[in-house]
Amino acid sequence: MLWRSIPHYESVTIRAPCPFGQLKMILDSILSHFRESFGGEPDFVVRSPGRVNLLGEHVDYNDGWVLPVAIDRAVYLAVRQCDSPLVSLNAPDMNDGATFRLTETAQKKNVNGHPLPDWARYPAGVAHVLREAGLAVTGMDAVFASDVPVGAGLSSSAAVELAFAVAWRELGGWQKSGMELAQLCQRAENQYVGVNCGIMDQFACANGQADRALILDCRTLDWQSVPLPPGVAIVIADTTKRRELGKSEYNNRRAACEEAVRALAAVLPNVRALRDVSEADFERHADLLDPVTAKRARHVVEECERTVKAAESLRRGDVAAFGVAMNESHRTLRDLYEVSCAELDAMVSAAQSLDGCYGARLTGAGFGGCAVALADSAVADSFKRDLAKRYEAAAGLKPEIYVCKASEGAEVAGRG
């Protein structure tokens, strides 16, 4: 039968009430929407995951190392090629549809001349940059839906972009690596959608590997995968506190890093970014920096070394050492980089206090959003329940908690 080749499709149980849906429910939904909207069956289904960063925070713009995983929550996209240069989209999660002409993506309008809805700018942006890059992009009928929560910091947007990039690669028959697709999708998000994100989200979504984390050098874009030991669950805990002050504080931090590089490069001529400063060199020259700039730079310098060393710990199978690095990362993000908030601190403390926790920290830009913890998967259910209880008691907010595992990157997951 049709979609049996999709991993776990048959084995998934549906739990109700189910805020973001489960795999089988999503697949059934997109297939029935497809039949309703377009008639017949799609050619194939693409699965494209969200991501979470385990370590290496606020270092991407310092040319440092990040250590994300693709998670087992994803966008599912059912696609059928059509002969006209039209892309007809149905997005049940948005209760909306849109059709645009591939030759007119620059105008960001649908076939009726109305502005494209925001959600349709992600696929249209991908089509736009692929065509700009000289790649064949065909018309399609498509339905997509997702269980990556939107706006929670798990990169639902990169998941949408990569889903379409993989679909057009499949239909166009051209070759591009995961990293090349990630770069094209980043360009779509930066230039077409107008969101100034780094490469990590698209990278992780494109190159994820089951049961492995990815370490990416943000300067060279070299990357490797490292094993996550069996029996370790990735617990993503959304504080449900949405970011405030995020943008101006983010710009301040970037400016402090640039300032630190200017001052340190005067005595360390090979320093182009904070990633070039060793902890030992930093200790020798920290007094060149004003106290606040020194705090900011110290987090980045330590976080860079910590991330590279922590990847080594995973190679050795030492998840306990990795957990300690996560705790340390939270400490310097909170005390030196000062991008935490009461809710994130409450969530991280609650996680760290529970049996079976290897380590926990804020993940993403900070000032709200999610924490991530590694926990013994044998206790994942009680961990989730107790974490929610302790967080709610401390912060007065109901969290959303997702127990995840590292998954494969965006791929054609099943065919008709």
Q: Which does 93 bind (CB under 5 to 8 A by kind): Mg ion, ligand ADP, none?
A: ligand ADP
Min separation Cβ 25 and ligand ADP, Å:
13
Question: CB neighbours of 136 closer than 8 A, spacing ≥ 6?
Answer: 168, 172, 173, 174
- Determine the interface stretch with Mg ion among 24-32, 34-42, 149-157, 242-250 (rule: CB under 5 A): 149-157
Instruction: Judge whether 52 and 166 are in contact, CB under 8 Å.
Output: no
367 binds, among Mg ion, ligand ADP, none (CB under 5 to 8 A by kind): none
The helix, strand and coil proportions of the chain, stated in percent and rounded to the nearest 5, come to 45, 20, 30
Determine which residue in the list 157, 183, 332, 340 makes contact with Mg ion, applying CB under 5 A. 157
Strands (E), 54-187: 65-66, 68-82, 86-91, 96-101, 139-146
- Residue 91 or residue 171: which is nearer to ligand ADP going by CB? 91
Distance CA 312, CA 322 (A): 9
Q: For ligand ADP, give the closer residue by CB, 74 or 346.
A: 74
Query: What does 122 interact with, of ligand ADP, Mg ion, none (CB < 5 to 8 A by kind)?
Result: ligand ADP
Q: Residue 329: which of ligand ADP, Mg ion, none does it interact with, CB under 5 to 8 A by kind?
A: none
| Residue 328 Cβ vs ligand ADP, minimum distance, rounded to whole Å | 25
Considering the complex, what minimum distance in angstroms separates the CB of residue 171 from ligand ADP? 20
- Which residue ranges make up the site for ligand ADP (CB under 6 A)? 75, 91, 93-94, 118-119, 122, 145-146, 150-157, 160
Q: How far is the CB of 277 from ligand ADP (least distance, A)?
A: 30
Among the listed residues 201, 238, 276, 376, the single catalytic one is: 201
C-alpha radius of gyration, the chain, whole number? 22
Query: What tokens does 46 get?
Result: 């693409």
Helix (H, G, I), strand (E, B) or coil at 80: strand
Q: How far is the CB of 149 from ligand ADP (least distance, A)?
A: 7
In angstroms, the Cα distances linking 59 to 67, 151, 200, 276, 295 are 11, 21, 11, 12, 14
Q: Could you say which of ligand ADP, Mg ion, none residue 119 binds, taking C-beta under 5 to 8 angstroms by partner kind? A: ligand ADP
The yes-or-no answer on residue 28 being catalytic is: no
Measured between alpha carbons, how far is 272 from 288 in angstroms, rounded to an integer? 17
Sheet of 400-404, strands arranged across: 357-362, 370-376, 232-238, 400-404
**Residue 363 binds Mg ion (CB under 5 A):** no
- Site for Mg ion contains 186 (CB under 5 A): no
Residues near Mg ion (CB under 5 A): 155, 157
What are the catalytic residues? 201
